[in-house]
Amino acid sequence: MDFDGQQHLTELDDDELAQKAEEWRARALRGDKTAFGMADAFEAELRRRSRDSALQPLTQIDLPPAKPWWKFW
């Protein structure tokens, strides 16, 4: 379950990345000092991907013309 140094974080899909982050975080919690940095790297990549997808432009919605909020008598 070691991470291959040749493999880049960007080559992993989201599910694999989440699985590896969970595995490395569990190792870090068991006291493996090197696993903390790896878990952080995987989790940072997950956050970056979710932030990038959230920043996609929204589609324009055509709204009807606004009516005045007062009644002119």
Please tell me which residue, 20 or 55, carries the higher pLDDT value: 20
The pLDDT value given to residue 1: 47
Mean pLDDT computed over 1-23: 77
pLDDT at 73 over 50: yes
The pLDDT value given to residue 25: 93
Residue 38 neighbours by CB under 8 Å, 6+ apart: 3, 24, 28
Domain residue spans in the chain? 12-54
Contact 12, 23 (CB under 8 A): no
pLDDT, averaged across the chain: 82
Q: What is the DSSP string of 11-52?
A: GS-HHHHHHHHHHHHHHHHTT-HHHHHHHHHHHHHHHHHHHH
Cα separation of 30 and 36, whole Å?
Answer: 10
> What tens digit of pLDDT does each residue of 32-66 get?
988 999 899 999 999 988 887 766 676 777 888 88
Contact 42, 20 (CB under 8 A): yes
pTM over 0.75: no
